[in-house]
């Protein structure tokens, strides 16, 4: 299994560090693409870095954390082959894998607590895409990459 890529801006830095500890406890390999402190940075830079890592095949799934998760998801979804979901409940974290084959999970440190974030990550990592009737729609989504 390829490692998970993870990145945040300053507003998601603290939660990213906690999620990294959770991944370590779960023996899930990850690559941290920054940021590396709570000093102010621009979230598009980190979302872009993470998406490029997936596009280059270094990972097939990523986690992005900012204040809300929204800015990160907006940037991520402008990248070819990326289907990013900004979620704050476990039902959606699971469903976006099953139905949308989401490959990037986004959430906000100002929105979710650490316990919920770990549940979102767990649902995202352990849930398989269902394919079948969803494939035509995912192909439709991907058609806008062109």
Q: Which residues bind ligand RB5 (CB under 6 A)?
A: 9, 11, 43, 66-68, 70-71, 108
Active site residue 99: yes
With 0-12 / 13-18 / 19 or more C-beta atoms within 10 angstroms meaning exposed / middle / buried, residue 21 is exposed
Catalytic residue among 66, 79, 86, 106: 66
Tell the smallest beta-carbon distance from residue 71 to ligand RB5 (Å).
Answer: 2
For ligand RB5, the closer CB: 15 or 59: 15
Nearer to ligand RB5, 27 or 40 (CB): 40
Tell me the C-alpha distance between 44 and 61, whole Å: 18
- DSSP bridge pairs for 119: none
Tokens read off for 42: 């621009």
Q: At what angle do helices 90-98 and 114-126 cross, to 10 degrees?
A: 20
Nearest distance in Å: CB 11, ligand RB5: 3
Residue showing the smallest CB distance to ligand RB5 in the complex? 71
Q: Residues, the chain, total?
A: 146
Catalytic annotation on 48? no
Nearer Cβ to ligand RB5, position 4 or 75?
A: 75
Q: How many C-beta atoms surround the C-beta of residue 61 within 10 A?
A: 19
Active site residues: 66, 99
């Amino acid at each position: 299994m390829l490692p998970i890529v993870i990145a945040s801006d300053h507003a998601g830095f603290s939660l990213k560090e906690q999620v990294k500890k959770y991944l370590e406890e779960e023996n899930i390999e990850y690559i941290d693409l920054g940021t590396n402190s709570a000093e102010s940075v621009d979230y598009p830079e980190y979302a872009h870095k993470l998406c490029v890592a997936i596009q280059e095949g270094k990972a097939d799934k990523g986690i992005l954390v900012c204040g809300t998760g929204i800015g990160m998801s907006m940037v991520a979804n402008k990248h070819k082959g990326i289907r990013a979901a900004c979620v704050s409940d476990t039902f959606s974290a699971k469903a976006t894998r099953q139905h949308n084959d989401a490959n990037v999970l986004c959430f906000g440190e100002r929105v979710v607590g650490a316990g919920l974030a770990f549940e979102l990550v767990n649902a995202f990592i352990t849930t398989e895409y269902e394919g079948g009737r969803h494939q035509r729609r995912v192909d439709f989504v991907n058609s806008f990459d062109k």
